[in-house]
Structure 1
């Protein structure tokens, strides 16, 4: 076990170094020791509050991980998703991917309040969100990695970006891959990061069309196991029940493992965007099979891809700001 953890750490570090030195932006780059002197207890504070929140509600781990994803795919990892609406800002929280489903904001508020008391005006909301995603993964049994830090917070949001850039459950494989490529991510990142659906929930409205042949061509969806579909229909009727929640991974819904990929092989992926990884692309299918067979391989790649995603267009140096309140820009 110790050897395995050391191996994962080594791989994570190897993944980090090229990003660190190749991603220089105006005023600096990201590196794990960014707060070692300015706020040495920062990571400990984030970890403690996330642990308390996940202990209270296991689903919160997936919610925080999802928020990080939805943040990075819109203008980069800049905490724009955390901004409430105001006179000058139209919040991303009302976008199609976030409305009635994005959650965990109160946990991030608590972390920010604690950090402002410990080291005022020092730790960005963007870094808090990135660290919370890592801790959520670890707390549920997934891999750990060194988180490059030093992001600053945006002074604006993008509702259109949130609506258009975040992959949707009903997107085709090609559309999803195109959205990943726009962010500098590849097909390996797509499959590995989709593995985060080993924890969390999805609403009935996110996959109903798969249960009732609403695919646009009138033909049944043969990419879902029919007994599994029948089971889902009990709580996801043809109309109504839109907000009813279902586990993304019905085998081990609160444990970060590789059963998500095993479910895909059994045609029991909940979302269309999950199952197309097996049915629409040869390379993606091979990766699904590899991760289903080898959990450590999945963990290593997931850590690499999370570092890569967390490195999408960060604001550093004098760009952006360090928000005092994650919900609003500084006055």
Structure 2
């Protein structure tokens, strides 16, 4: 099944308007746009907090227990697990397609350039196995991924949000779609806003979800373009604080693809608003981080959360945006399937 988003139909309308200039087409697209929004909303409404009440009543307890064990052994996995959920939702919606393995006939999302540094697949498999023992062929990998992301963040003093359940697993995973849909760390504010809007997320969601960079690390290769010869004159990105750029160069040599840098130096294992303090000081690691200062709404949000101000507001905002993100183009009802193993289509 091909899911049509409101954004894609709007793009089609603009294309037809400019090429055909035919007035009678506009009402047709207006109807299609309304129908697509209704379909998308209907799917999201198919999710409920008590979806597994009768079929797997202990699912959240099982996921929470296994996630806690994983985090106790590897607390730095919280950010990768959260990132897995994000990358999943931005391609074909939150359908677990990022978890599917490539085959000889298909290069899957997880092997697309934006996903080559993803981690945590084994953790999701571990949780899925625990759930399968108690509730065989009942709980989707997409739901498990959404729950694990929430629980991992919560363990690092982040917010705890309700996760509506009932997602079905997709049967399609294509590397080219990941490349086309996942916002890159090199995006400027215009491209970021366009990317998020295409998924039904607004500018506030953009700046709030960017706050997830308060935990975790990144490979030097994701931001080294900002450190060396940025404008062709052997310089660094002028939007970076010079002292911060110097520290990053001392850590990341030219061509370094293995070294990791903390995204929120000093507190990258704690979910707090320190990320916004860094961005305000021009110490955002990625171009996409620095870009938050280039828009009035995002800049205002960043500055309002500097230092110790507004932590509770940020945590609540993050929880709200995560619930919203977790409903992107979900499959429900008879759509998709319940995968027995997350890496393989049934």
Q: Normalized against structure 1, the TM-score is what?
A: 0.89
Q: How many residues align?
A: 307
Whole-angstrom CA distance in 1 between matches of 2:232 and 2:144:
41
Give the aligned partner of residue 11 of structure 1: none
Contact 2:170 2:336 in 1 (8 A): yes
How far apart are 1:220 and its partner, in Å?
4.2
Q: Structure 1: which 4+ aligned runs deviate by more than 4 Å?
A: 215-220
Whole-angstrom CA distance in 2 between matches of 1:213 and 1:277:
23
Whole-angstrom CA distance in 2 between matches of 1:106 and 1:116:
15
Give the aligned partner of residue 75 of structure 1: 92
Give the aligned partner of residue 260 of structure 1: 275
Q: Does 1:311 align with 2:304?
A: no
Q: Does 1:59 align with 2:76?
A: yes
Unaligned runs of 5+ in 1: 1-20
SS in 1 for 2:305: helix
Whole-angstrom CA distance in 1 between matches of 2:216 and 2:210:
12
Whole-angstrom CA distance in 1 between matches of 2:327 and 2:43:
11
1:279-294 matched pairs, under 5 angstroms: 280-292=294-306, 293-294=309-310
Whole-angstrom CA distance in 2 between matches of 1:107 and 1:220:
38
Give the aligned partner of residue 189 of structure 2: 173
Whole-angstrom CA distance in 2 between matches of 1:291 and 1:39:
40
Contact 1:209 1:215 in 2 (8 A): no
Whole-angstrom CA distance in 1 between matches of 2:177 and 2:164:
24
Contact 2:228 2:235 in 1 (8 A): no
SS in 1 for 2:207: helix
How far apart are 1:90 and its partner, in Å?
2.0
Whole-angstrom CA distance in 1 between matches of 2:164 and 2:218:
30
How far apart are 1:214 and its partner, in Å?
2.0
CA RMSD in angstroms, aligned pairs only? 1.8
Whole-angstrom CA distance in 2 between matches of 1:89 and 1:117:
30
CA displacement, residues 206-250 of structure 1 (integer Å, 9 cap, x when unaligned): 1111111325687642221111111111121123x2121011000
Q: Normalized against structure 2, the TM-score is what?
A: 0.85
Contact 1:89 1:156 in 2 (8 A): no
Q: Does 1:160 align with 2:170?
A: no
Whole-angstrom CA distance in 2 between matches of 1:182 and 1:294:
29
1:1-331 matched pairs, under 5 angstroms: 23-25=41-43, 29-99=46-116, 101-215=117-231, 220-239=236-255, 241-278=256-293, 280-292=294-306, 293-330=309-346
Cα gap change, 1:216 to 1:182, in 2 (>3 Å): farther
Q: Which has the higher Rg, Structure 1 or Structure 2?
A: 2
